Amino acid sequence: MPFSNAISLIKLLFVKDKELYVFIHRITGYYPRDIKPYQLAMVHRSKPVKMPDGRWANNERLEYLGDAVLDTVVADFLYNTFPGKHEGFLTSTRAKIVQRESLNRIGNTLHLDSHVHAQMRSSSHNSYLCGNALEALVGAVYLDQGYKRCRKFIVERLIKKHFNLNDLVKTEQNFKSRLIEWTQKYRVNIEFELVDSYTDTDNNPVFRTAVILGGIYASDAQGYSKKESHQAASKKALDRLRHDQQFCEQVLATATN
Protein backbone atom coordinates (compact mmCIF):
# COMPACT_ATOMS: atom_id res chain seq x y z
CA MET A 1 0.00 0.00 0.00
CA PRO A 2 1.40 3.44 -0.93
CA PHE A 3 2.54 5.47 2.06
CA SER A 4 0.12 8.32 1.29
CA ASN A 5 -2.83 5.90 1.24
CA ALA A 6 -1.73 4.40 4.56
CA ILE A 7 -1.65 7.88 6.09
CA SER A 8 -5.11 8.58 4.65
CA LEU A 9 -6.51 5.39 6.16
CA ILE A 10 -5.08 6.34 9.53
CA LYS A 11 -6.78 9.74 9.19
CA LEU A 12 -10.04 7.93 8.49
CA LEU A 13 -9.98 6.58 12.04
CA PHE A 14 -10.14 10.12 13.41
CA VAL A 15 -12.07 12.10 10.79
CA LYS A 16 -15.57 13.14 11.83
CA ASP A 17 -17.26 12.79 8.43
CA LYS A 18 -16.14 9.23 7.60
CA GLU A 19 -19.00 8.60 5.18
CA LEU A 20 -18.14 11.62 3.02
CA TYR A 21 -14.42 10.80 3.26
CA VAL A 22 -15.00 7.31 1.80
CA PHE A 23 -17.52 8.65 -0.75
CA ILE A 24 -15.00 11.19 -2.10
CA HIS A 25 -12.37 8.47 -2.48
CA ARG A 26 -14.81 6.24 -4.34
CA ILE A 27 -15.73 8.82 -6.97
CA THR A 28 -12.41 10.67 -7.34
CA GLY A 29 -9.85 7.94 -6.65
CA TYR A 30 -8.15 10.16 -4.05
CA TYR A 31 -8.34 10.25 -0.28
CA PRO A 32 -9.01 13.84 0.83
CA ARG A 33 -6.07 15.62 2.39
CA ASP A 34 -8.47 18.16 3.84
CA ILE A 35 -12.14 17.20 4.14
CA LYS A 36 -13.36 20.78 4.63
CA PRO A 37 -13.56 21.85 0.94
CA TYR A 38 -15.57 18.71 0.15
CA GLN A 39 -17.92 19.35 3.04
CA LEU A 40 -18.53 22.87 1.75
CA ALA A 41 -19.01 21.55 -1.80
CA MET A 42 -22.05 19.66 -0.53
CA VAL A 43 -23.72 22.75 0.99
CA HIS A 44 -26.51 24.12 -1.21
CA ARG A 45 -27.32 27.83 -1.03
CA SER A 46 -30.75 27.01 0.44
CA LYS A 47 -29.09 25.68 3.61
CA PRO A 48 -25.86 27.65 4.29
CA VAL A 49 -23.52 26.82 7.16
CA LYS A 50 -21.85 29.16 9.61
CA MET A 51 -18.07 29.26 9.28
CA PRO A 52 -15.63 29.57 12.23
CA ASP A 53 -15.15 33.28 11.41
CA GLY A 54 -18.90 33.90 11.61
CA ARG A 55 -19.59 34.04 7.87
CA TRP A 56 -22.44 32.08 6.32
CA ALA A 57 -21.24 30.04 3.34
CA ASN A 58 -22.45 27.62 0.68
CA ASN A 59 -20.93 25.88 -2.34
CA GLU A 60 -21.39 28.72 -4.85
CA ARG A 61 -17.79 29.97 -4.65
CA LEU A 62 -16.49 26.42 -5.19
CA GLU A 63 -18.99 26.04 -8.02
CA TYR A 64 -17.53 29.15 -9.68
CA LEU A 65 -13.99 27.78 -9.30
CA GLY A 66 -14.94 24.30 -10.52
CA ASP A 67 -16.67 25.75 -13.59
CA ALA A 68 -13.46 27.57 -14.58
CA VAL A 69 -11.28 24.49 -13.99
CA LEU A 70 -13.69 22.29 -15.97
CA ASP A 71 -13.59 24.68 -18.93
CA THR A 72 -9.79 24.69 -18.93
CA VAL A 73 -9.36 20.92 -18.57
CA VAL A 74 -12.01 20.03 -21.16
CA ALA A 75 -10.55 22.56 -23.64
CA ASP A 76 -7.06 21.12 -23.11
CA PHE A 77 -8.32 17.53 -23.42
CA LEU A 78 -10.24 18.19 -26.66
CA TYR A 79 -7.36 20.20 -28.16
CA ASN A 80 -5.05 17.20 -27.76
CA THR A 81 -7.65 14.54 -28.59
CA PHE A 82 -8.73 16.12 -31.89
CA PRO A 83 -5.59 17.57 -33.54
CA GLY A 84 -6.39 19.63 -36.59
CA LYS A 85 -10.04 20.25 -35.71
CA HIS A 86 -11.16 23.87 -36.09
CA GLU A 87 -12.07 26.25 -33.29
CA GLY A 88 -15.82 25.96 -33.89
CA PHE A 89 -15.75 22.18 -33.51
CA LEU A 90 -13.74 22.36 -30.28
CA THR A 91 -15.99 25.07 -28.82
CA SER A 92 -19.18 23.19 -29.72
CA THR A 93 -17.90 19.87 -28.32
CA ARG A 94 -16.73 21.48 -25.09
CA ALA A 95 -20.15 23.09 -24.67
CA LYS A 96 -21.83 19.70 -24.90
CA ILE A 97 -19.62 18.32 -22.12
CA VAL A 98 -19.84 21.21 -19.65
CA GLN A 99 -23.49 22.14 -20.23
CA ARG A 100 -25.79 22.00 -17.18
CA GLU A 101 -27.76 19.02 -18.45
CA SER A 102 -24.62 16.90 -18.87
CA LEU A 103 -23.17 17.81 -15.48
CA ASN A 104 -26.50 17.21 -13.77
CA ARG A 105 -26.77 13.77 -15.39
CA ILE A 106 -23.29 12.83 -14.14
CA GLY A 107 -24.02 14.24 -10.69
CA ASN A 108 -27.15 12.13 -10.45
CA THR A 109 -25.25 9.04 -11.60
CA LEU A 110 -22.67 9.65 -8.86
CA HIS A 111 -25.51 10.08 -6.31
CA LEU A 112 -24.22 13.45 -5.17
CA ASP A 113 -27.74 14.29 -4.00
CA SER A 114 -27.34 11.78 -1.16
CA HIS A 115 -24.66 14.04 0.35
CA VAL A 116 -25.88 17.52 -0.60
CA HIS A 117 -27.39 19.51 2.26
CA ALA A 118 -30.35 21.44 0.85
CA GLN A 119 -33.56 22.85 2.24
CA MET A 120 -35.64 21.46 -0.62
CA ARG A 121 -35.17 18.62 -3.07
CA SER A 122 -38.02 19.18 -5.50
CA SER A 123 -37.08 18.75 -9.14
CA SER A 124 -38.39 22.21 -10.02
CA HIS A 125 -36.56 24.13 -7.29
CA ASN A 126 -33.29 22.20 -7.44
CA SER A 127 -33.31 21.04 -11.05
CA TYR A 128 -29.52 21.40 -11.29
CA LEU A 129 -28.64 20.61 -7.68
CA CYS A 130 -26.39 17.67 -8.61
CA GLY A 131 -24.77 19.46 -11.54
CA ASN A 132 -23.93 22.48 -9.40
CA ALA A 133 -22.59 20.19 -6.66
CA LEU A 134 -20.40 18.43 -9.24
CA GLU A 135 -18.84 21.75 -10.27
CA ALA A 136 -18.26 22.56 -6.59
CA LEU A 137 -16.69 19.12 -6.12
CA VAL A 138 -14.27 19.83 -8.97
CA GLY A 139 -13.36 23.08 -7.24
CA ALA A 140 -12.76 21.19 -3.99
CA VAL A 141 -10.55 18.58 -5.71
CA TYR A 142 -8.54 21.37 -7.33
CA LEU A 143 -7.96 23.09 -3.97
CA ASP A 144 -7.20 19.86 -2.13
CA GLN A 145 -5.18 17.90 -4.72
CA GLY A 146 -3.85 20.48 -7.17
CA TYR A 147 -4.35 20.92 -10.91
CA LYS A 148 -2.59 17.74 -12.11
CA ARG A 149 -4.68 15.38 -10.00
CA CYS A 150 -7.83 17.38 -10.64
CA ARG A 151 -7.26 17.10 -14.39
CA LYS A 152 -6.85 13.33 -14.08
CA PHE A 153 -10.11 13.12 -12.12
CA ILE A 154 -12.00 15.13 -14.76
CA VAL A 155 -10.57 13.25 -17.74
CA GLU A 156 -10.55 9.69 -16.36
CA ARG A 157 -13.53 9.74 -14.02
CA LEU A 158 -15.88 12.21 -15.70
CA ILE A 159 -15.23 12.57 -19.43
CA LYS A 160 -14.10 9.04 -20.33
CA LYS A 161 -16.59 7.30 -18.05
CA HIS A 162 -19.68 9.34 -18.86
CA PHE A 163 -19.30 10.43 -22.50
CA ASN A 164 -18.95 8.54 -25.77
CA LEU A 165 -16.88 11.02 -27.75
CA ASN A 166 -17.72 9.42 -31.08
CA ASP A 167 -21.44 9.85 -30.42
CA LEU A 168 -20.91 13.29 -28.92
CA VAL A 169 -19.28 14.81 -32.00
CA LYS A 170 -22.03 13.41 -34.22
CA THR A 171 -24.88 15.11 -32.35
CA GLU A 172 -26.58 18.14 -33.83
CA GLN A 173 -24.46 21.26 -33.91
CA ASN A 174 -25.70 24.59 -32.57
CA PHE A 175 -25.59 26.41 -35.91
CA LYS A 176 -26.62 29.77 -34.46
CA SER A 177 -23.78 29.71 -31.92
CA ARG A 178 -21.29 28.73 -34.62
CA LEU A 179 -22.46 31.56 -36.86
CA ILE A 180 -22.25 34.09 -34.02
CA GLU A 181 -18.73 32.87 -33.19
CA TRP A 182 -17.76 33.37 -36.84
CA THR A 183 -19.11 36.93 -36.89
CA GLN A 184 -17.33 37.76 -33.63
CA LYS A 185 -14.07 36.37 -34.96
CA TYR A 186 -14.22 38.48 -38.12
CA ARG A 187 -15.98 41.48 -36.51
CA VAL A 188 -19.04 41.26 -38.74
CA ASN A 189 -22.41 42.57 -37.55
CA ILE A 190 -25.18 39.96 -37.39
CA GLU A 191 -28.96 40.39 -37.18
CA PHE A 192 -31.82 37.91 -36.96
CA GLU A 193 -34.94 39.47 -38.46
CA LEU A 194 -38.41 37.94 -38.11
CA VAL A 195 -39.84 38.45 -41.61
CA ASP A 196 -43.07 36.47 -41.33
CA SER A 197 -45.25 34.52 -38.91
CA TYR A 198 -48.47 32.65 -39.57
CA THR A 199 -50.35 29.48 -38.64
CA ASP A 200 -50.35 26.38 -40.82
CA THR A 201 -53.36 24.24 -41.75
CA ASP A 202 -53.18 22.46 -38.37
CA ASN A 203 -53.22 25.83 -36.55
CA ASN A 204 -49.54 25.54 -35.54
CA PRO A 205 -47.54 28.79 -35.40
CA VAL A 206 -44.82 29.10 -38.06
CA PHE A 207 -41.98 31.64 -38.00
CA ARG A 208 -39.68 32.74 -40.82
CA THR A 209 -36.38 34.36 -39.85
CA ALA A 210 -33.78 36.02 -42.07
CA VAL A 211 -30.08 36.26 -41.24
CA ILE A 212 -28.41 39.57 -42.12
CA LEU A 213 -24.58 39.67 -42.10
CA GLY A 214 -22.96 43.07 -42.27
CA GLY A 215 -26.19 44.49 -43.68
CA ILE A 216 -26.22 41.85 -46.44
CA TYR A 217 -29.02 39.28 -46.71
CA ALA A 218 -27.55 35.82 -46.10
CA SER A 219 -30.45 33.38 -45.79
CA ASP A 220 -33.89 32.73 -44.37
CA ALA A 221 -35.74 29.69 -43.06
CA GLN A 222 -38.88 28.77 -41.22
CA GLY A 223 -39.62 26.71 -38.13
CA TYR A 224 -42.33 25.96 -35.60
CA SER A 225 -40.58 28.21 -33.08
CA LYS A 226 -38.38 31.28 -33.39
CA LYS A 227 -35.46 29.23 -32.06
CA GLU A 228 -35.97 26.55 -34.70
CA SER A 229 -36.15 29.14 -37.49
CA HIS A 230 -32.96 30.81 -36.17
CA GLN A 231 -31.10 27.48 -36.25
CA ALA A 232 -32.28 26.59 -39.76
CA ALA A 233 -31.45 30.04 -41.15
CA SER A 234 -28.03 29.97 -39.44
CA LYS A 235 -27.24 26.60 -41.01
CA LYS A 236 -28.07 27.98 -44.47
CA ALA A 237 -25.91 31.06 -43.82
CA LEU A 238 -22.95 28.91 -42.72
CA ASP A 239 -23.31 26.73 -45.82
CA ARG A 240 -23.40 29.82 -48.03
CA LEU A 241 -20.30 31.31 -46.38
CA ARG A 242 -18.51 28.02 -46.91
CA HIS A 243 -19.43 27.48 -50.56
CA ASP A 244 -20.05 30.96 -52.01
CA GLN A 245 -16.66 32.69 -52.05
CA GLN A 246 -17.95 35.92 -53.60
CA PHE A 247 -20.65 36.25 -50.93
CA CYS A 248 -18.14 35.48 -48.16
CA GLU A 249 -15.80 38.21 -49.44
CA GLN A 250 -18.67 40.70 -49.59
CA VAL A 251 -19.57 39.98 -45.96
CA LEU A 252 -15.95 40.15 -44.78
CA ALA A 253 -15.61 43.53 -46.49
CA THR A 254 -18.15 44.93 -44.00
CA ALA A 255 -15.97 43.98 -41.01
CA THR A 256 -15.40 46.73 -38.43
CA ASN A 257 -12.05 47.55 -36.86
Residues whose CB falls within 8 Å of the CB of residue 122, separated by 6 or more in sequence, listed in order: none
Catalytic residue among 67, 71, 113, 228: 67
Cα angle: 55, vertex 113, 94; to 5 degrees: 90
Q: Tell me, yes or no, if 19 is annotated catalytic.
A: no
Q: How far apart are the first and last CA of the chain?
A: 61
The total of other beta-carbon atoms located within 10 Å of residue 141's CB is 30
Q: Tell me, yes or no, if 135 is annotated catalytic.
A: yes
Cα angle: 232, vertex 244, 190; to 5 degrees: 50
Catalytic residue among 63, 87, 113, 135: 135
Backbone phi and psi for residue 127, each to the nearest 5 degrees, phi listed first: -60, -30
In one-letter notation, the amino acid at residue 34 is D
Q: How far is CA 225 from the centre of its chain?
A: 24
The total of other beta-carbon atoms located within 10 Å of residue 106's CB is 20
Known catalytic residues are: 67, 135
